[in-house]
Chains A and B, each alone.
Chain A
């Protein structure tokens, strides 16, 4: 195994007296999809916010390409090639696809006062980039707000890739999507991995994680509950781990009892 592109060592994050993460260590590799799983409140969001520069760890080390780093803002992380696709996507709904794609990094041509937006290049590039990712757009002028959730995720992901991301952090990209849309996004994740990116995929849906993941990190109550390679893990085990194993058994028992009670009440 080569050197990890990102690594956290014994990272602890406190918010006042609340311990959001406790001595978490994890490694993330290029050309792999690492799935970060866990229930609400498990610490997934805190961990990715540390990785993408929103939060700084209270204790512990953060290494990028083997070097200790400390990011004070998402912009600093982005400049190193750590791109985050947030749930709200940072896309402007009323603007055309191509304007959104290049927002903040517009291609220009011309000289002096005639310096202008290279719109032909932008339109063409957007069409090509999305085409490469397997999404055919007929009209780059379509406002982003009129596209489906899966398409918007796809635009945000291909934008990150185009601008040279080495690490792609996806925060619950499939959470609000239907089955078909989610499968489009999962295809994108695989394509990004094949291009050599380290993909960190946050989800609480093992059905989405298992097919694409090479490596699974399960968080629970701010601690690492398990860190597995895909070969080491069956899908059922993953589901059990997610739900917390014995909790699932207890839940089944509780529900059975509840059902009986309802029948008795009738």
Chain B
């Protein structure tokens, strides 16, 4: 009896100690936060006069915001166990639809935006429906969507305008209100920030809330973690997946509209190649490529890392060609760190489980 009490007490101590370590390692966004801190310090050391100022922060949050909106939606989908390669080109498609309708057909910008939204949600639904009914990898299904949209973007734009761009969107009725809502600036500490930053923060908070505080969040983790197990306990797996594809399409619509408002024009090649940047942001933020694990806040931090790198390289006076090499390097580091932290978390808690069993 005496020896049993002692061994239980000892195992309690061990569990408490490893519990604290595991607590730190368990959050998926840990790696990304560390990476963001390192990169901030790095560029701050190179250009202390520009980078770590309020002006510098406003500069790098600008690209981070639209990227972050996409990365958060893509992260939700990846946690749900799927990929979407059509997200980047969809930002172009939605921008072109709204742009063509408002400039060529003379529509008010609002119904034009609505048509673009319906189209985006339709394609998102179709992506999801094809993935769940054919059971083909979403990588392939959305690669097809990517090429179809990419071709249509150029084809339709050239057919209608004889050019590969749509310009003069600011001439459309309703443009100024839409611009105020979707893409303008606000002043804080005497520096102009993009309103897209507000959208991005709201979307990150909303996505985190859904993921961590509603049953739908549990379902998203479950359909990515083990769809068969989820189905066995009554989770509507197919509906969740389709909804996630529609969410990435919705985010792409929002970013497409923001581009229209900001640039007052749309180009047919808009967004091509960006789909990988979104995926990389989500992975840097702690999403596993295999699904079932990840974080919306992490994806946003991944987007901040990209914003900092893009702006920091300019500040440092380096050739911007190197940006993509940086991207690749970050991806590699992120995947290795993710894998390491996850294994660390599992090792530690296996030790805890063992200690507990021995204590009994």
Contacts and interface: CB of A to CB of B under 8 A. Distances in A.
B350 A146 contact: yes
A237 B183 CA distance: 81
B126 interface: no
A74 B226 contact: no
Interface in B49-91: none
5 contacts: A92-B221, A94-B293, A104-B235, A116-B214, A146-B349
A148 B357 contact: yes
Give the interface residue-count category, chain A: 35 or more
Contacts of B350: 146
A250 interface: no
Contacts of B356: 136, 138
A86 B356 CA distance: 25
Interface in A51-96: 74-75, 86, 88-95
Interface of B: 15-16, 19, 26, 209, 213-215, 217-219, 221-222, 225-226, 228-230, 232-235, 288, 292-293, 345-346, 349-350, 352-354, 356-357, 360
Given A74-B232, A92-B229, A103-B230, A151 B218 contact: no
A196 interface: no
Contacts of A141: 26
Interface string A177-201: 0001100100000000000000000
Contacts of B214: 115-117
B230 A104 contact: yes
A10 B293 CA distance: 48
The SS class assigned to the A binding surface is: loop
The SS class assigned to the B binding surface is: helix
A92 B225 contact: yes
Contacts of A74: 232
A94 B292 contact: yes
B225 A90 contact: no
B229 A91 contact: yes
A86 B225 CA distance: 17
B292 A92 contact: yes
A90 B221 contact: no
A147 interface: yes
Nearest to B350: A146
Max chain A Cβ within 10 angstroms of own Cβ: one of B222, B232, B352: B232
Contacts of B219: 103
B233 A117 contact: no
Q: Which 7 pairs of residues, A with B, have the shortest CB-CB distance?
A: A106-B215, A104-B233, A146-B349, A104-B234, A92-B225, A90-B229, A90-B232
